[in-house]
Structure 1
Amino acid sequence: MPVSASGQPLQPAAQEAPADEAAAYLNAFGTPDVVEVLLPDTSGILRGKWLPGSSLGKVWKDGVAIPLSIFGLDVWGCEVEATQIHLETGDKDGLCWPVPGTLKPVPWASRPTAQVLITMHQPDGSARGAPWRLDPRQQLAKIVSRFDALGLTPCVAFELEFYLLKPGAPGEVPQPVFPATGQARQNMYSMSDLDAFSDVLHEIREACVAQGLPADTVISEAAPGQFEVNLYHRVDPMAAADDAILLRRLIDGVARRNGLRATFMAKPLADFAGNGMHVHVSLVEKDGANHFARPDVGDAALRHAAGGLLATMIDSTLLFVPSFNGYRRLVPGSYAPVSVTWGYDNRSVAVRVPNGPPKARRLEHRIAGAEAHPHLVLAAILAGMLEGLEQKIEPPPALVGNAYDHEAPKLSPAMADAVARFSTSPFIAKAFGEEYRRVYGVMKAEELAAFTRVILPLEYETYL
């Protein structure tokens, strides 16, 4: 059996769903009360519909109608008129089809419930319609297809950090949970924190088993009530990104069932570490071998892929850090990168080559916040790697030591810089298309404007 970049057995690639996938579900679980059709929007927020359980088969037969303009909503779910894809177009419906292999039971629901991811197509007279270019999943699919010409398939794994918080009253900020001592403190890799949250963490693992999500390690992270769940590597990058979307929903659902609030906010607590989304990528050849481990070309391919990531990193930052809050996470000494750097077994750089045997050689991309859209993050990473492989971009020497003390180009320090760089980037236009660059750019510019109009409590305390 082929092994992953970490040396673990590879999860099989997702297969095309049989025509009777819905029938197989009904045979295994019976008719649910509710079917949740889930469509991740441009911010990675799940939107969709509840359908009666008796309509499950129709989702495969007829699809689900949802406005194409759902990909022109901001993070609050409001229309961004500057995208020009709302009433200007008549606000037409698209047709959404199930993503194969994502029909799953929802074990944390209060009644029998099924859920399935869907992806958007634009009616064009054909049976299914053309893939809708503004759907991030379709953007990732387009970039993944470019690897076929190289005879390579990305092998991908996501790691997601999150906090478990005490929910506050309406309008109050949820508070951290200090499980062992009752005090706010760092307690890295603490077994006592895992024990303190064992009920909810075990329920998360059990729900992953029920939904077939390839969850691996669960660790206690750098702050009170902060944890990380690692997913196994997948030789299907589309499925790997789907796993990350569904894992976030699962953790949130199980936390609520246990009277807690899970947050993937990039920097929820000012005095503690932020939540990151680390992405591991290797490239698998047709025989299952790791391309980066080939004696003749592996080292050069690894360098070129890293070089491409560094060369395109600042242009792509808005995809890795899409929120106003996310830039609060990118501070020196925080284990979140702040500069365009790479290195071997070095957690202070943006692109890390983890330690391990040659067959496990891979790149770990460490910039993204946990709230970012997994499909867009992965699309930007893979597009950067392709740029490096195709152009044979040599990176600077791998950094040794503390990257925070090293002179190197800095990542965009604020959202305004990231929006400006993204919106004029030839690389983004090449990888995602000029229309996607425009729409995504104006959406994030509108979100930034909303935050800059708010007067913070600290301003009143200081100046009133």
Structure 2
Amino acid sequence: MPTSVSGRRPEDAAAPGGADEVAAYLSAFGEPEVVEVLLPDTSGVLRGKWIPGHSMRKIWKDGVAIPLSIFGLDIWGCEVEATEIHMETGDKDGLCWPVPGTLKPVPWAPRPTAQVLITMHEPDGSARGAPWKLDPRQQLAAVVERFAARGLSPCVAFELEFYLLKPGTAPGAPPEPVFQATGQARQNMYAMSDLDAFAEVLHDMRAACAVQGLPADTVISEAAPGQFEVNLYHRVDALGAADDAVLLRRLIDGVARRHGLRATFMAKPLADFAGNGMHVHASLMEQGGGNLFARPDGVGDAALRHAAGGLLATMADATLIFVPSFNGYRRLVPGSYAPTSVSWGFDNRLVAVRVPNGPLHARRLEHRIAGAEAHPHLVLAAILAGMLEGLEQTIEPPAPLSGNAYEHEAAERLSPDMEVAVTRFAGSDFIARAFGTDYRRIYAVMKQEELNAFRRVILPLEYETYL
């Protein structure tokens, strides 16, 4: 379990070191034409601005003004009035400050371009403002602080699956996978031939990761032709790991476009093939640097069980965060390698929470529910909050499952219905404790509006069948 250690925290976002970061960038890459400031909204969609390169120092000096209500936009970028954070508030601005360590060149851009992640603060009369509670990054920061109070630091890693598709698909039409490049249209798990067929674009993705300092590890050909997975190294920095996942998705999309392809993280883009998942590995490091789950005398075993128990006990309440899209529930079907039950097990890829094989010092939990389109900061906040719930309440999980988890009738089933997930989230005491009652209400009404929009659409199959 290789690790990378970083100390990025939201309160450091506007630290004096920002001037040094800008100077280092200019020395290494020269002045860009534009700096793209990137703010992931509630759905994980990147929003922001282009700032002229000659004004880039102002980003660190003055911040970037963006409406606080940007976190009340739906997946289409439209205001969700039911959130009551738009006109009711006068739609006032917040101030966004750069996340240290994220000022990087954009190697796939056609002209000299830099990018930097930003995080939202609320103007409150102080110099930098209080963290804006609706910013998912600030939600994750709050959970990390709860671990810090216990002398623990999460060590986490993301795995992201995606498809490469043909460009130019008409809006609303099914995507066209790149079958022709491999000469076959069947499942071809871990095929080196698929890696070879797309070697040029995949190597460019790895090169771009190196330029941007993203800790990319393994690249795998996944369960369908044109589907791949990129793994990130473990980091003892939950915020940095989630930042990396956000930026990796952007990188994959940008490099694919430069090669005349489309990349999609849609949870279930093709009905007959596996969906795209976001797997999260998590362990807990103690102040001395050791892995809590690896402690002897049964302490590590108990901590692992209780963390798993917390994840299972809170799983149904948090499903709407792990599977935030209407499409994502199509992925949770038996036989797809996506979990369908509230379950855990050792070295079992069919359960929701897996304990992978490996050396004792790398003992960890792998959370396998989230779709690849989910918000990395929110997903990780929900996972860590669930683990903390289990540790604080010493929650014992049910017996771990072995064999085919799809056939275990005793295990509670994950609902494949978004409406059930919305209802469960909206009434959850755990979500209120972990994210706050305001966040619970706002996120729930946003997802209810999204669900309503899909229900208003008549599917082509209905016309084909009944017209």
Deviations 1:363-391 (A, max 9, x none): 00000000000000000000000000000
Q: Out of 181-190 and 100-109, give the one that drifted further.
A: 181-190
Query: How far off is 1:235 after superposition?
Result: 0.2
Query: Which amino acid in structure 2 is aligned with residue 270 of structure 1?
Result: A
- Structure 1 residues 216 and 137, CA, compared in 2 at 3 Å: closer, same or farther? same
Aligned residue identity for 2:435: F
Equivalent residue in structure 1 for 2:405, among 403, 406, 409: 403
> Any idea what SS the aligned residue of 1:97 has?
strand
Deviation, 1:257, is 0.3
1:11-410 to 2 correspondence within 5 Å? Answer: 11-15=4-8, 18-20=17-19, 21-171=21-171, 172-179=173-180, 181-296=182-297, 297-407=299-409, 408-410=411-413
State the distance in 1 between where 2:170 and 2:323 align: 27
Unaligned stretches of 5+ in structure 2? none
Q: TM-score, normalised by structure 2?
A: 0.97
- The 2-side partners of 1:285 and 1:104 are apart by 31
Whole-Å separation in 1 of the counterparts to 2:325 and 2:437: 22
Counterpart of 1:453? 456
Aligned mates of 1:262, 1:357 — CA distance in 2: 34
Correspondence for 2:423: 420
In the TM superposition, what is the alpha-carbon distance from 1:173 to its structure 2 partner?
Answer: 3.7
Aligned 8 A contact 2:182 2:197 in 1: no
TM-superposed deviation, 1:55: 1.1
Q: How does 1:5-16 map to 2 (within 5 A)?
A: 6=1, 8=2, 10-15=3-8
Residue type of the partner of 1:397?
A: A
SS in 2 for 1:133: coil
CA distance, structure 1, for counterparts of residue 88 and residue 70 of structure 2: 14
Q: What secondary structure sits across from 2:118 in the alignment?
A: strand
> Residue type of the partner of 2:141?
A
Paired letter, 1:236: D
- Which letter maps to 1:322? P
Query: In structure 2, what is the Cα distance between the partners aligned to 1:142 and 1:73?
Result: 22
How far the C-alpha of 1:169 sits from its partner, in A, is 4.4
The Cα of 1:271 is off from its aligned counterpart by 0.1
**Deviation string, structure 1 residues 389-438 (Cα, Å, up to 9, x no partner):** 00000001111111100021111221000000000000000100000000
For structure 1, which runs of at least 5 residues remain unmatched after alignment?
1-5
Q: How far, CA to CA, are the matches of 1:34 and 1:170 in structure 2? A: 31
| Per-residue deviation, 1:179 | 4.8
- Distance in 1, Cα, partners of 2:169 & 2:283: 45
Q: State the one-letter code of the partner of 1:154.
A: P
CA deviations over 1:319-365 (Å, ceiling 9, x no partner): 00000000000000100001000000000000000001211100000
Post-superposition offset of 1:47: 0.2
Q: Give the Cα–Cα distance (whole angstroms) in 1 for the partners of residues 279 and 326 of structure 2.
A: 19
Please give the secondary structure, in 1, of the residue aligned with 2:4.
coil
Give the aligned residue type for 1:158: F
On the 8 A contact 2:310/2:387 being kept in 1, the answer is yes
What's the CA shift for 1:182?
Answer: 2.6
- Code of the residue aligned with 2:213 in structure 1: it is G
Opposite residue 210 of structure 2, the aligned amino acid is V
For 1:157, the aligned partner's letter is: A
- 2:446 is aligned to 443
Residues in 2 aligned to 1:206 and 1:14: alpha-carbon distance in whole angstroms = 25
For 1:372 and 1:149, how far apart are their aligned partners in 2?
28
Which letter maps to 1:346? N
RMSD: 1.0
CA separation of 1:151/1:372 partners in 2, compared to 1, >3 Å: closer, same or farther? Answer: same
For residues 23 and 217 of structure 1, what CA distance do their matches in structure 2 show? 32
Contact 1:168-1:174 at 8 Å conserved across structures: no
Q: Distance in 2 between matches of 1:365 and 1:28?
A: 38
Once residues 365 and 402 of structure 2 are traced to their aligned partners in structure 1, the CA distance between those partners, rounded to angstroms, is 16
Hey, what's the Cα distance between the residues in 1 that align with 2:360 and 2:283? 11
State the TM-score, normalizing by the size of structure 1.
Answer: 0.97
The total of aligned residue pairs comes to 457
Report if the CA contact (8 A) 1:159-1:277 is conserved.
yes
Deviates more, 1:165-174 or 1:52-61: 165-174
Supply the distance in 1 between the matched residues of 2:458 and 2:213 (Cα, whole angstroms).
45
Name the aligned partner's letter for residue 365 of structure 1: H
For 1:14 and 1:412, the matched residues in 2 are separated by 38
For 1:3, the equivalent position in structure 2 comes to none
**3-state secondary structure, aligned to 2:204:** helix
| Deviation for aligned residue 1:14 | 3.9
Q: Where do 4+ consecutive residues of structure 1 move more than 6 Å?
A: none
Verify the 8 A CA contact 2:175 2:269 in the aligned structure 1: no
Letter in 2 for 1:19: G
Q: How many angstroms apart in 1 are the aligned matches of 2:440 and 2:328?
A: 20
Residues 259-288 of structure 1: per-residue CA shift (max 9 Å, x gap): 000000000000000000000000011121
Q: Which amino acid aligns with 1:107?
A: P
The CA deviation at 1:127 is 0.7
How far apart are the structure 1 equivalents of 2:27 and 2:182?
Answer: 48
State the 1:181 CA deviation: 4.8
Letter in 2 for 1:415: M
Q: Is the 8 A contact 1:284 1:290 kept in 2?
A: yes
- Contact 2:33/2:112 (<8 A) preserved: yes
1:19 CA drift (Å): 3.3
- 1:24, distance to aligned residue in structure 2 (A): 1.6
Q: How big is the shift at 1:178?
A: 1.4
Q: Distance in 1 between matches of 2:328 and 2:254?
A: 23
Q: Which amino acid aligns with 2:65?
A: A
Note if contact 1:14-1:101 (Cα within 8 Å) is conserved in structure 2: no
